[in-house]
Amino acid sequence: MRLAFSTLGVPGLPIPDVVRLAATHGYHGVELRAHPEEPVHTGIGAGERADVAGEFKAGGIEILGLAGYTRVAAPGDDGPVIDEMRRLLDLAHDLGAPYVRVFPGADREQTPERADAIAARRLGTAAEYAGDLGVRILLETHDSHRTAADAIRVLGLVGHRHVGALWDVMHTWLGGEQPAETYAALSPYLGYVQVKDIASADDTTPLPLGAGVLPLSDAVEVLSRHEWDGWLCWEYEKRWYEEAAPLEGLLEAGSAHLGRLLNDSA
């Protein structure tokens, strides 16, 4: 398995510094938060996209994917949601990133059946465009569909190889799933895995990996046991928790911790 971190942990950091941090601290890739607050988003032009891709290539670091904020099950017209996914897919293609992350984002007033149908219809439409570009859309286990059991209701309806799943270990745990259950459900669809750590279900302030309660060792063990050879991406949500320690000082210990988990599971 290869290691990455998300720029959600280093909000606003210039791309050369992101690449330097990854190369210095033992990470093979980076998940880029695609948002106007960040250096990389759908509004940047062709020249800026080429510069970003060049920085990563020169540093020997891969762009794992783009963390977008499209909510595919949200109420409203399909058009704006599909257009937003297409813009993200174009950006990923231009940067050479294999994945685009989207959220479920269903409204509480929607029935699960209605939300699943809306999400599947939009993802199925965008999947054809994704296939043409060679990029895969990943539905994260998050918000209205936080467990694998929730996510596969949508993915099963889509049935397209360019739509898969992003396993966020925190959300599936908060939803009551054990890693073995989550993997069993998501394995046919799995793009990559987001790891993190927190103090408790009531306090999700990000902690250094291994300092909290999330079952990271169990997750890595089940992935290793099934010889899954993908990415583990540390999503340290510094952007939402100003009181959290800076990620820059934690990166080396984080990669070392994941390395130990991988060795113990080998």
pLDDT, tens only, 9-49: 999 999 999 999 999 999 999 999 999 999 999 999 999 99
pLDDT digits (tens, 9 = 90+) for 219-257: 999 999 999 999 999 999 999 999 999 999 999 999 999
| Cβ burial 97-122 (10 Å sphere, 16+ → b, else e) | bbbbbbbbbbeeebeeeebbbbbbbb
Q: Quick one: CA dihedral 193, 139, 52, 235, positive or negative?
A: negative
Query: What is the CATH number for 110?
Result: 3.20.20.150
- For residue 178, count other CB atoms closer than 10 A to its CB: 14
C-alpha angle 77/162/94, rounded to 5°?
A: 85
pLDDT digits (tens, 9 = 90+) for 106-142: 999 999 999 999 999 999 999 999 999 999 999 999 9
Q: Is 87 left (phi over 0), alpha (psi -120 to 50) or beta?
A: alpha
pLDDT digits (tens, 9 = 90+) for 198-216: 999 999 999 999 999 999 9
Contacts 24+ apart (CB under 8 A), 237-241: 237/8, 237/9, 237/196, 237/204, 237/206, 238/8, 238/9, 238/10, 238/11, 238/206, 239/8, 239/9, 239/11, 239/33, 241/205, 241/206
Q: Is there a contact between 244 and 205 (Cβ–Cβ < 8 Å)? A: yes
What is the count of structural domains for the chain?
1
Element holding 69 (H helix, E strand): strand 62-71
Q: Packing angle between helix 46-59 and helix 78-95, nearest 10 degrees?
A: 50
Residue in this structure with the two tokens 């093979």, named with its chain if needed: 28
- Is residue 138 helix, strand or coil? strand
First vs last C-alpha separation in the chain: 11
* pTM exceeding 0.95: yes
* pLDDT-derived band at 264, boundaries 50, 70, 90: confident
Owning domain of residue 220:
2-265
Mean pLDDT of 140-161: 97
